[in-house]
Copies of this chain bind each other. A is one copy, B any other.
Amino acid sequence: MSYRLTPAGGLVRGSPGARVGLMASPSSGTVPWPHTPLPVVAAPMAGGPSTPELAAAVSNAGGLGLLAAGYRTGSDMAEQVRATRELTGGPFGVNVFVPAVERDEGRLFAQRTAIEAYVDLLQATATRLGVELPQPNWEDTDGWDEKIEALVTDPVAVVSFTFGRPPHRVVDRLHRVGTCVAVTVTCTQEADAAEAVGADALVVQGVEAGGHRGTHDVLMTPNVLSHPELLRNLRGRRAALVAAGGIVGPSDVRRARKLGAVAAQAGTAYLLTPEAGTSPVHRQALTERALEASVTRAFSGRPARGLRNRFVEEFDAYAPAVYPAVDQLTKPLRARAAQLGDVGGVSLWAGAGWRTIEAAPAAQVTAHLAGPRG
C-alpha cells in the first residue's frame, strides 16, 4: 500500500509510480501524512521556541504542531509529548536530529584540529563572559536511541527527521506503530536518499528557511534553491511534500499547495506568539528589525539562518563545519549572553519574511497562514 499526491495536493492511495526503482527494499507499508483541517505545520524550533503549548495550540487550531526534540534528552522529549497530549486531542508530531558520529580517523583528526583553532578564537569571549568552554563530546548522538525507543513506545502522528535520514529499520519500527515518517531535504539527492529508506513525506526546505538548514552532509555547501524551486524539481514523487522556508503568509501556503505540497511548515511566523518559548532577547531583535539576515556556521558548525549580529561578524569566517562540537562550545557563551540580554552574543534565527511577523496567538497565526477557507 502506498499513497501519492494528486495535482490538487490531496493524498490518494495508489501505486508507487515512476520512482519505484528506489523502493527495492520496501518498508512495512507506508503511513500517509495526517489529514488536518488546515494545511499548516508548526515547524520544530529546537533550543527554546517550540513548546508543548505552541504545538498543541497549532493542532487545536486545525494545523499540525511539531515538538523539537533536538538538544533535549529522550526523557525530556517524552515528557513534552505527554504534556502536549494533555493540551490537544489532535494529531501532532516530533522532530528528531539525525546524529552523525564521525568514525573516519582522518576526518576526525581534521575536525579536532579545526575545533582547537576555533576554541582559541572563542577564548577571549569566554574570558570576558566569565564562562568556561567545555570539552567537545565526540560521541554525542543527541539521545538518538532513547528518543526512537520513546517514540515507538508512545507514538505520535508524525516523526520528522533533520540533518540526515534515519536507517531503514527505524522507519520500519515507526511505520509499525502507525507513525508517518518525514525527512527534511534540501535537494534532489537528499530526497532520493529519503525515499530510499521509505520516508512517507519530504519536508522540502528552501533557502528561505530560518534556523538550521537540514543539509544531510555537514560538509556540503548548503543548497540555495527556494522551496518553490525545489517543489518543482521534486513534483511527482511518491512521498508527500511539505513546503518549508519563509512561510509567513497565506500566499506562501497557497503557492506551496499549487506546487503540489500537502502542507506548508512555518517556523518564524510563530516566533512572537505567546505560546512559543522564544527568548526575550530573540523577541527583541525580531521586533527591533535593526539587523539583516545571513547564514552562518558560527554558532553550531552547521549552516543556519538568523540575524547577523556581533557574534556572526566576529566568528562566521572561522567557524569549522563540525557539528555538534561547535554547538557544544558556543552553548555557554550564548546562554550567558542571553542572561545579560546581549543581542550581539546569541543566535537569532529568522527565516525570510521575518520583518513581517507580528505578536499574536498561535491560533490566529495558523488561521492567517491558512487564508480564507473554501
Residues of A within 8 A of B (CB): 187-189, 207, 217, 219-226, 229, 233, 292-297, 303, 305, 308, 313, 316-318, 352
Contacts and interface: CB of A to CB of B under 8 A. Distances in A.
A301 to B, nearest CB: 12
A357 to B, nearest CB: 15
Contacts of A318: 219
Contacts of A225: 292-294, 352
Q: Which 8 A-B pairs have the closest CB atoms?
A: A219-B317, A224-B295, A188-B292, A207-B224, A221-B295, A221-B296, A220-B317, A221-B316
A292 B226 CA distance: 12
Nearest to A187: B292
Contacts of A295: 221-224
The majority secondary structure among interface residues of chain A is: loop
Nearest to A296: B221
Given A187-B308, A352-B229, A293 B224 contact: yes
Contacts of A219: 316-318
A317 B217 contact: yes
A69 B225 CA distance: 29
Given A207-B207, A207-B224, A305-B224, A294 B217 contact: no
A222 B318 CA distance: 13
A246 to B, nearest CB: 10
Given A207-B207, A308-B187, A223 B317 contact: no
Contacts of A292: 187-188, 225, 233
A227 to B, nearest CB: 13
A118 to B, nearest CB: 12
Contact of A294 (B187, B293, B313): B187
Contacts of A226: 352
A305 B292 CA distance: 22
A297 B187 contact: no
A50 to B, nearest CB: 23
8 contacts: A187-B308, A188-B292, A221-B303, A223-B295, A224-B295, A224-B305, A225-B293, A229-B293
Nearest to A110: B117
Contacts of A316: 219-221
Nearest to A233: B292
A41 to B, nearest CB: 22
A303 B187 CA distance: 17
Given A187-B294, A220-B316, A221-B294, 4 more contacts: A220-B317, A221-B297, A225-B293, A225-B294
A45 to B, nearest CB: 18
Nearest to A232: B355
A353 to B, nearest CB: 9
Contacts of A352: 225-226, 229
A318 B114 CA distance: 14
Nearest to A321: B317
A105 to B, nearest CB: 15
Contacts of A229: 293, 352
A369 B226 CA distance: 22
Contact of A224 (B187, B189, B220, B294): B294
A352 B229 CA distance: 9
Nearest to A312: B221
